[in-house]
Amino acid sequence: MKLSVLALGCAMLMIAFAPKPAFAQSGYDRPGGDYLRFSVRSGDPAVCAARCERDSRCRAWAFAYPVIGGSKRAVCWLKNRVPRRTRASCCVSGVRGAGVVEPRRGRVEFSIDRFGGDYRSFDMIADPQGAPCAAACEAEKRCCAWTYARPGYVGTAARCYLKSRIKRPRRSPCCISGVVR
């Protein structure tokens, strides 16, 4: 009996102190430690994370979405150490083994495009959460869904698409979407 209680206690301690999986962080950069920089044509941070996984020198990575007035392409930096993360709305970063996990916040759909059903679109200030676009949709009775396109994907500015119809979600790093009604 004592042995099974001891084994159970050890198992619970191992679970409690087991290493937690690392996740990539949206809205963070990791400056320093760069040994390789390359453009990411697709604009998808998952390409950057996958490249780090395949390179034995890589310890961390940082991905920057296309920038306004600068490079038209997204950029990935592979790092030979794990620099401290810093807040940066332009970026997604992680450590080797992290993959890419976009944040999930209620009705906001990260890396989702709801293509079609638009009744109006307009340029807007860049926002890493797409909040101004969501607010614009909520303020209009006709709007039932929205898609915010990050700067550099559809044009040089961020763009908000208000929708009178709810369309199927499609995975795309360009966009943040949501359904209001």
Is-above-0.85 flag for pTM? no
Average pLDDT per 10 consecutive residues for the chain, totaling 181 residues: 49 40 74 95 89 94 78 88 89 84 73 94 90 96 95 87 95 91 75
* pLDDT value at residue 97: 83
Q: Domains along the chain?
A: 22-95 (3.50.4.10), 108-179 (3.50.4.10)
- What integer pLDDT is reported at residue 102 of this predicted model? 64
CA distance 178 to 181: 10
Q: What are the backbone dihedrals phi and psi of residue 25, each rounded to the nearest 5 degrees, phi first?
A: -115, 120
Report CA-CA distances (Å) from 132 to 61, 74, 129, 144, 150.
Answer: 29, 23, 8, 15, 12
pLDDT of 12: 45
Q: What is the pLDDT of residue 14?
A: 41
